[in-house]
A and B are shown apart, each in its own frame.
Chain A
């Protein structure tokens, strides 16, 4: 089955800890994205990558880091520098016509 997988679905961390969210795709898409969604809000772009070993900051990259060592994988690390990390994180992969296919999301709670 082709698609995007994100794990885990729910994640709990203590403040001050870094945490890495996984995103894998088997759609053979070049582009991958990370978005953050807060309750009742739209999507805000954190990072995106058009090709392996290359990525660009989105609108809210501060406190986050990514890597793109393989076409299939685009993990997101939420660092302790992120002031308000509790949110719903969505990963997507995209075609050359920019349509995006999303994973099921990870709900991160930091206390």
Chain B
């Protein structure tokens, strides 16, 4: 069965600190997709990144970076030099190729960035 675990419920940092959000997943499929979404206080989820199971290259986008490791079934998200605008709930998610468009979301990690 597919499962996504975000063990960190809340994280609080001071502006300019680096912060890593953890995501561990479980799947039996060999082809699957991992995602990160951001939910700011307004409520609308924003798609950040998709990674497929055959591509373990790490990705960097500005202050955001993602570390995908199949050996540990993890897909961690790091924000470098955090800013107050990064305060949000972040969700990790998993879709299996055999899942028929169904996506499983983790419980989310609430990030507070203090000025």
Contact = CB atoms under 8 A, between A and B. Distances in A.
Interface stretch (A14-22, A42-50, A64-72, A75-83): A42-50
A41 to B, nearest CB: 7
Contacts of A98: 33, 35, 50, 95, 101, 103
A97 B33 contact: yes
Interface residues of A, number: 24
Given A56-B100, A97-B33, A43 B50 contact: no
A100 B47 contact: yes
Contacts of B43: 88, 90, 104-105, 107
A1 interface: no
B100 A50 contact: yes
Interface string B26-40: 000000010101000
7 contacts: A33-B103, A42-B91, A48-B101, A56-B100, A97-B50, A97-B52, A98-B101
